[in-house]
Homo-oligomer: A and B are copies of this chain.
Amino acid sequence: MEILKERIRQNGRIIGDEILRVDSFLNHQIDVKLLQEMAEAIKTRFQDKEITKIMTIEASGIAIGCFVAQVFDVPLVFARKSQSKSLPPLVYTAKVESFTHHKISDIMISEEFLGAGDKILIVDDFLANGAALTGLISLVEAAGAELVGVSIAIEKAFQPGGSTLREQGVEIYSLARIASMSETDGIVFAPDI
C-alpha cells in the first residue's frame, strides 16, 4: 500500500537494524485518516470472504482493529495480556514472547467472544518473528473458529514470521513489507504478496 510505505519513509525512524519506530502515526499517536485508508485496503483484499469478527491483541493492534472492524461492519475482539478482575473466568490462553519488550505474556480471549461459528480476520500493527500472531492463531484453533486470513500493517520480511506462517498455509496480507532496513541505508521495501 503505497500511502503507508510513503509515510514510513517520511516518518518512520530506524533504530539499529531491527527496530522501526512508527509512533507518530501507528502505535502511540494514531493518524485516524491513514488507518481508515489502511482498513479500506484490507477490506478490498478480503472482500470476497465471509468474515464475522476481527481479532487483534492489546495494545497496539486495537486502533487498526477498530477501523478494520468498522469497514467490515463486524465486532472487534482483542486478546488481553493480563488477568483482570473484569475478565470472565473461562478463557482461551496462549503464551507469547514480545519482540520489543522481551517478556513472555499470557494472552487470553473469553470463550464468550470466540466460537465455532466465527470466521476470523486477525489484524495487527507489526509482524516480525510471528510470536503474537502464532499465539492468536492458536486461540482461534482452540475455539474451533475458522481463520480466514491475517492482515498486518508492517511486516519485517527479513524476520521469519511471515514466511513461516505462509508456509503453514496462512493467508497474510501485509500493507508494507520491509526487505531490509538500517540507520545508514534506510528502508528497502519487498514486493507485495
Query: Which residues of A are interface residues toward B (Cβ below 8 A)?
Result: 15, 19-24, 27-32, 35-36, 58-59, 62-63, 65-67, 69-70, 73-78, 80-82, 84-88, 100-101, 109-110, 112-113
16 pairs, CB–CB < 8 Å, chain A vs chain B: A20-B86, A21-B86, A23-B110, A23-B113, A24-B112, A28-B87, A29-B76, A29-B77, A30-B66, A32-B73, A32-B76, A58-B62, A62-B63, A62-B66, A82-B101, A85-B101
Q: How many subunits of this chain does the assembly comprise?
A: 2
How far apart sit A23 and B77, CA to CA, in the bound complex (Å)?
A: 9
Of A35, A82, A84, most B-chain CB atoms within 10 Å? A84
Cα distance, A28 to B109, chains bound together (Å):
8
Contact A85 B19 (CB under 8 A): yes
Q: Select from chain B the residue with minimum beta-carbon distance to A102.
A: B85
Interface centre among A66, A67, A81 (most CB of B within 10 A): A66
Instruction: Give chain B residues whose Cβ lies under 8 Å from the Cβ of A74.
Output: 32
